[in-house]
Structure 1
Amino acid sequence: MTSRTTQICVHFSFPFLLPGFEAPLPAGEYRVDYDEETIESAFRLAWRRVGGFVHLPAIGAAGSFHQMVPVEPAHLAAALEKDRQLS
């Protein structure tokens, strides 16, 4: 089985809360790394997300430390959808 990591940027217009965080994260743009693995298929190459990491703090935000925090892809997708509904 082959694996890869892809990086995207996501934007939140409003503060948001992810499971495992005690306080909401501020609105802004965040880098996210997704770990993916191939799905066996005879017809085409497909990838499945198996994990993710959000980079803190947000892009352009002041901060003395940088960290990558694990996040479930489904939780991040739900937070992004909620943010879109508030817009």
Structure 2
Amino acid sequence: MTTRTTQSTVRFSSAVRLPGLDEPLPAGDYLVDQDEETIDDLSRIAWRRTGAFIHIPAIGSGSLTRQMLPIAPADLEAALEKDRT
């Protein structure tokens, strides 16, 4: 089985609350890592997400302390959708 990690940037235009965090995250750009593995027994390559992590604080926040917190992809998508409205 092959695994990979892809990294993307998400942007929140206002403060956002994510499950598992006591305080809302401020608006800004955040790095998100998504871990995936190949799905076996298929005639073509397909990937299944096995985990996602958000890096806090926001990019450019000036803080020297960084954390990677696990996040459910559905929770991330819901937060992004809420931020768009």
Letter in 1 for 2:39: I
Counterpart in 1 of 2:58? Answer: 58
Structure 2 unpaired stretches of 5+? none
Deviation at 1:28, TM superposition (A): 0.3
- Considering only aligned residues, what root-mean-square deviation do their CA atoms show, in Å? 1.2
> What TM-score, normalized to structure 2?
0.90
In structure 2, the residue corresponding to 1:65 is in which secondary structure? coil
Aligned residues with identical type, % of pairs = 59
Deviation at 1:47, TM superposition (A): 1.1
Say whether 1:78 aligns with 2:72. Answer: no
Would you say how many aligned residue pairs link Structure 1 and Structure 2? Answer: 85
Q: Distance in 2 between matches of 1:74 and 1:16?
A: 15
Deviation at 1:68, TM superposition (A): 0.9
Counterpart in 1 of 2:27? Answer: 27
Q: Distance in 1 between matches of 2:74 and 2:50?
A: 10
